Structure 1
């Protein structure tokens, strides 16, 4: 049985389809997550694909493929098929999702052969980009495919009342992009997307280390630095860490001690751009919803929400309460899995 709700919000139209669904998919820039309504999160690994260059043969996906980055022989190519939240390499993305389905089928049994899926897409994705997500799921054997905009999925995963006539401000800090949105009555009232996320923060650290110390470090080292001693401006950390890389001048291997204040300085410019994008969204908020934002605040999701001091710093910058959602990294996946079950209840009053 299928019901629908059509809402017109300014120049943008939101169309919801409600059907019985088996699986939610968050195919992200750096991670792919599958959420089952009956078994919860059943797959959560890096969205990496390792191929044999000459034979064009799949070697590994997920965590195993990620560990090969910078360490594998020349004939092994490791890629991430998505860039900035959208599909950059259709064939690799298709192979990745097929393998994810295959690995997950053992948990879901025979019914997984033709699953109904809900798949998240960036809010500002073009019709061509949205079609790519749809086609990949179709190629992987999905029976029915429904696309849900990422900010809405994140809000549902964060347990926000997205169907009520109140302003829900969600900021999804992903790996390839940041999306800040105001959601009310089940639709997106305003949204800003920025191609700055966790990957850019890693790049900022790599550039800083190279410029300051003439040291080349890899992506995984930069990510580890961000996780261990990275922080938003104003956060006080005392414990540094030692990192290893190659000196660009001598070519020799070298170790340096990196201070948290240096990492904070390296990340500051990108974080300021994120704060400015959120501020721009708040300025687009209709007057009738502005009071809700002051009362309810802003909710952060995505891996970037876990950066130390992020909620305190954004709260001070924007003069609005800021909170981190429960399980922020998994919020979109959880939201896709819950969407078709939860939304009819939340929007019942509007039908």
Structure 2
């Protein structure tokens, strides 16, 4: 998909609908929404009773008549009506009243690089249902690269690895376009599942999904990891609550297995790039972004396997919406080629 910076400057709002979190950027204001992409619905009445962080805390703790749903999967809107209802509640009444006093705004939304026409249409209909008179689609990879501060508009290679909740995208960019890209079904949820399976097999313990992310902090801290970690869960045999002291190194090995899929994607992308661009990456290295970029051991694994520098963005989770916001604010200028001397 092509990006017109001129049309993007006319937009007043930028949206990043991720499988894990939804982020909204308002022009001349900044980031106004950063909440989990979750809604809790009363199946008896059809009413949405909670969205965002409050709804996420309900996961696995609701009675039969309350269902926790995720209207976005893999960066694609799978339930347009629910996504619209969730966004209305996240944006709040104040923003909607501001829109009613002005002409209907244009909006920009991030979509995955390999999104099919149906997925693109779903993203457009989601924002159109909120009152946007025009919706611009922007590749998530380009928006994230801009948010990371990479010089994507220059004739130099930049490689970015965007780790999401369900998928990871790897791309090489030059002159504002994607030279080669690859997607693998490996993300934060995949790593969480690997940790849960390891604890089930090694300790006969069922760990709640929401307890896995705090464990990542222990795995990523060398000082804490040397002391070990105690986790609380349910015994597989008896069903009773139980606590165990886990072997941190064993959990790290369980995590490394799914992360090797990202290495295969990087190799595939490099094979499709011209040699001159690959040579640029030897000095510039790889930029990690996305909500799962801080997975323990990911940067070390990539650095050891590729032999090039690996950097993690300052705020990896919000890079996409911040990059899209920078385009709306006019902070991104196209690279001007020097005219040939005749």
After TM superposition, give the deviation of residue 346 of structure 1 in Å: 2.9
Matched, 1:253 2:241: yes
Matched, 1:333 2:316: no
* Cα distance between partner residues in 1 of 2:183 and 2:283: 24
* Alignment equivalent of 1:135, drawn from 99, 107, 125: 125
Larger deviation: 71-80 or 20-29? 71-80
Contact 2:218 2:224 in 1 (8 A): no
After TM superposition, give the deviation of residue 289 of structure 1 in Å: 1.4
| Partner in structure 2 of residue 183 of structure 1 | 173
RMSD after superposition: 2.5
Q: Structure 2, unaligned stretches of length 5 or more?
A: none
* Alignment equivalent of 1:273, drawn from 250, 261, 266: 261
After TM superposition, give the deviation of residue 111 of structure 1 in Å: 6.0
Does the residue aligned with 1:135 lie in a helix, a strand or coil? helix
After TM superposition, give the deviation of residue 72 of structure 1 in Å: 2.2
Normalising by structure 1, we get a TM-score of 0.89
* Alignment equivalent of 2:230, drawn from 242, 266, 269: 242
Normalising by structure 2, we get a TM-score of 0.91
Contact 1:239 1:259 in 2 (8 A): no
The superposition leaves residues 300-321 of structure 1 with CA deviations (integer Å, 9 ceiling, x where unpaired) of: 1012222234323311111111
After TM superposition, give the deviation of residue 331 of structure 1 in Å: 0.2
Contact 2:35 2:53 in 1 (8 A): yes
* Cα distance between partner residues in 2 of 1:235 and 1:287: 41
| Partner in structure 1 of residue 206 of structure 2 | 216
| Partner in structure 2 of residue 5 of structure 1 | none
Does the residue aligned with 2:49 lie in a helix, a strand or coil? strand
* Cα distance between partner residues in 1 of 2:338 and 2:112: 25
Contact 1:161 1:346 in 2 (8 A): no
* Cα distance between partner residues in 2 of 1:190 and 1:104: 42
* Alignment equivalent of 1:52, drawn from 42, 50, 53: 42
* Alignment equivalent of 2:311, drawn from 314, 320, 323: 323
| Partner in structure 1 of residue 219 of structure 2 | 230
| Partner in structure 1 of residue 55 of structure 2 | 65
Does the residue aligned with 1:154 lie in a helix, a strand or coil? helix
Change (3 A) 1:294 1:89: same
| Partner in structure 2 of residue 3 of structure 1 | none
* Cα distance between partner residues in 1 of 2:98 and 2:237: 54
Does the residue aligned with 1:305 lie in a helix, a strand or coil? coil
How many matched pairs? 337
* Cα distance between partner residues in 2 of 1:246 and 1:297: 43
After TM superposition, give the deviation of residue 35 of structure 1 in Å: 1.4
* Alignment equivalent of 1:298, drawn from 278, 286, 289: 286
Larger deviation: 238-247 or 328-337? 238-247
Q: Structure 1, unaligned stretches of length 5 or more?
A: 1-12
* Cα distance between partner residues in 2 of 1:350 and 1:54: 65
| Partner in structure 1 of residue 66 of structure 2 | 76
* Alignment equivalent of 2:183, drawn from 163, 179, 193: 193
| Partner in structure 2 of residue 9 of structure 1 | none
Larger deviation: 114-123 or 55-64? 114-123
Matched, 1:163 2:153: yes
